[in-house]
Amino acid sequence: MAKIICVLYDDPIDGYPKSYPRDSIPKLTVYPDGQTTPTPEAIDFKPGDLLGSVSGELGLRKFLEDLGHTLVVTSDKDGPNSVFEKELHDAEIVISQPFWPAYLTAERMAKAPKLKLALTAGIGSDHVDLQAAIDRGITVAEITYCNSISVAEHVVMMILSLVRNYIPSYQWVIKGGWNIADCVSRSYDLEGMEVGTIAAGRIGLGVLRRLKPFDVKLHYTDRHRLPAEVEKELNVTYHPDVESLIRVCDVVTINCPLHPETEHMFDDKLIGKMKRGAYLINTARGKICDRDAIARALESGQLAGYAGDVWFPQPAPQDHPWRTMPHHGMTPHVSGTSLSAQARYAAGVREVLECWFEGRPIRNEYLIVEGGKLAGTGEHSYSKGNVTKGSEEAARFKAS
C-alpha cells in the first residue's frame, strides 16, 4: 500500500467555509482545443467547494483510504523540520499545488527513496527538480489545461487594471476621497495598444483570443508557430524572438513555463529594450523575471506597471521587494486556483491516481517526465535542467 503526501495551502483564517457565494459552477466537458476535461471514474467532492486547502484535501481521502493507502495532508512544507520533509522518507507519491509549492529538490528526493510520482495539482512543475526526476526515474505529471483559461481571464483583468489604473482609484474610494486627477493621471485606454504574449500555448492563445475584441494590435513569440489560419483569424504578428516582440509592445504578458531557457529572461538588459512606460504582466512564474530588475524598472519609470500572481520563492518573504515596489498589481498566487479551477484539477488528480493504482497509462498530455526523460507536454514545452535553486528561502516566510 502506498503513502501519499499532499501539500496544500492553509484553510481561510476564519476556518473552512460553511457556505459559498454561489450554489454551483458551470460544468465543462471539453477545453477549447477539444481535449476533454478530467474523466475520473468517480469523485467524492462537490464541484465549487474549496478543495485546494488543507481541509479540502482535494477530495481524495475517502478514495485513497478505501484502497488501503495512507494520505498525509499538510501545509507545513518548508525547512528540514517541516512535516513534508519529515514524512518524505517512505512516500511513494507527492501531490503539490504550484500556489503553495512543495519544492522537490534533488536533496529532498534523495531522502525519499520510494518516491515514484510527483503530481502537480495544477499546471507548472518547475517546483520539482526535473533533472533529478529524470535521473531518478520519477514520473512527473500535471493536470494540463485545468486552469489555463482561469489564468487567461486573470491576465486580461490585470492588463486592464494596470492600464486603466484601477487599483489606486479603488483605494481612493476606500480612503474616502474623490481624487479624480490623482486617479486618471496614470490612466489610459487599452484600445489601439500593441499587446504581445511570450508563448502562445494554452494560456497565451487564450489571452490573445480574449483580447481580440478590445481592438488592440496582437503579437506573439513561441518556439512553435501557431497554425496560419489561427494567425489570420486573430490578425496576430509572429516574432522570431522575445527581443523583437518586446521592442514594439506597450503591454507584454508572459505565458511560458519556467525552465532553464526562460529563467531570469526579463533582466535589466531585456527590460531596458522595452518601450519606456510598458506594462509587464507575469502570471507564468516569478523566476522568469529578475526580482530586483523589475523593482528598479518601476522605480525609474522604464515600466509603467507590473502585475502578476507568481513569485519566487512561494510564499514570498515579508521583505520581498515586489510587495512594496511602486505601480504594481501583485496578488498571492491565485489565478489558477479559483473554485472553478480547483474542481477540474481535483478531478484530474483523481484521474491520474486511478490510472496509477490500476496500472493504466496516464494521459500523454498530463506527462512532464516519464521513464527517465521529458515526455508528453514536458517534451513539447520544457527543457531539461533544474530551476528549483534558491527555493529553501521559502522557509523565511514562516520564520517572519
Catalytic positions are 147, 285, 314, 333
- The residue (of 47 and 201) whose beta carbon lies closer to ligand NDP is 201
Stretch binding ligand NDP (CB under 6 A), from 26-34, 222-230, 270-278, 346-354: 222-230
Say how far apart CA 375 and CA 63 lie, in whole Å. Answer: 28
How many residues touch ligand NDP (CB under 6 A)? 34
- The residue (of 88 and 146) whose beta carbon lies closer to ligand NDP is 146
Say how far apart CA 298 and CA 305 lie, in whole Å. Answer: 7
**Least distance in angstroms from the C-beta of 177 to ligand NDP:** 32
By three-state DSSP, how is residue 322 classified?
helix
**Least distance in angstroms from the C-beta of 151 to ligand NDP:** 5
Residue 306: beta bridge partners?
Answer: 280, 328
Classify residue 12 as exposed, middle or buried by CB count within 10 Å of its CB (0-12, 13-18, 19+): exposed
Q: Which of residues 307-346 bind ligand NDP (CB under 6 A)?
A: 309-310, 333, 335-336
| Selected binder of ligand NDP within 101, 201, 305, 376 (CB under 6 A) | 201
CB 346 within 8 A of CB 43: yes
- The residue (of 201 and 348) whose beta carbon lies closer to ligand NDP is 201
Which grid coordinates belong to 323? 510587495
- The residue (of 69 and 127) whose beta carbon lies closer to ligand NDP is 127
- The residue (of 2 and 121) whose beta carbon lies closer to ligand NDP is 121
Both ends of the chain: CA-CA distance in Å?
38
Is 27 a binding residue for ligand NDP by CB under 6 A? The answer is: no
**Least distance in angstroms from the C-beta of 23 to ligand NDP:** 25
| Selected binder of ligand NDP within 82, 97, 161, 377 (CB under 6 A) | 377
Say how far apart CA 257 and CA 310 lie, in whole Å. Answer: 12
Is 381 a binding residue for ligand NDP by CB under 6 A? The answer is: yes
> Which amino acid belongs to residue 286?
G
Q: In terms of DSSP bridges, do strands 194-198 and 217-221 run parallel, antiparallel, or are they unpaired?
A: parallel
**Least distance in angstroms from the C-beta of 172 to ligand NDP:** 28
Say how far apart CA 220 and CA 186 lie, in whole Å. Answer: 26
- The residue (of 124 and 315) whose beta carbon lies closer to ligand NDP is 124
Is 148 a binding residue for ligand NDP by CB under 6 A? The answer is: yes
* Position with the least CB separation from ligand NDP: 201
| Selected binder of ligand NDP within 261, 268, 292, 299 (CB under 6 A) | 261
The number of residues in the chain equals: 400
Say how far apart CA 124 and CA 345 lie, in whole Å. Answer: 12
Which residues are CB-contacts of 129 (< 8 A; sequence separation ≥ 6)? 104, 105, 106, 109, 386, 388
CB 92 within 8 A of CB 117: yes
Is 388 a binding residue for ligand NDP by CB under 6 A? The answer is: no
Is 380 a binding residue for ligand NDP by CB under 6 A? The answer is: yes
CA angle 8, 9, 13 (to 5 degrees): 140
| Selected binder of ligand NDP within 60, 203, 374, 387 (CB under 6 A) | 203
Stretch binding ligand NDP (CB under 6 A), from 74-82, 183-191, 252-260, 351-359: 252-260
CA angle 205, 210, 216 (to 5 degrees): 100
Is 253 a binding residue for ligand NDP by CB under 6 A? The answer is: no
Which grid coordinates belong to 149? 483559461
Is 33 a binding residue for ligand NDP by CB under 6 A? The answer is: no
| Selected binder of ligand NDP within 46, 86, 223, 232 (CB under 6 A) | 223
What letter does residue 274 receive in the DSSP assignment?
Answer: S
By three-state DSSP, how is residue 95 classified?
strand
Is 197 a binding residue for ligand NDP by CB under 6 A? The answer is: no
Which residues are CB-contacts of 230 (< 8 A; sequence separation ≥ 6)? 205, 236
Residue 117: beta bridge partners?
Answer: 93, 139
Stretch binding ligand NDP (CB under 6 A), from 179-187, 243-251, 283-291, 322-330: 283-291
- The residue (of 64 and 195) whose beta carbon lies closer to ligand NDP is 195
* Of 253, 245, 160, 157, the residue nearest 204 (C-alpha): 253
- The residue (of 138 and 281) whose beta carbon lies closer to ligand NDP is 281
Using CB under 6 A, list all residues that contact ligand NDP. Answer: 122-124, 147-148, 151, 198-204, 221-224, 255-258, 261-262, 283-285, 309-310, 333, 335-336, 377, 380-381
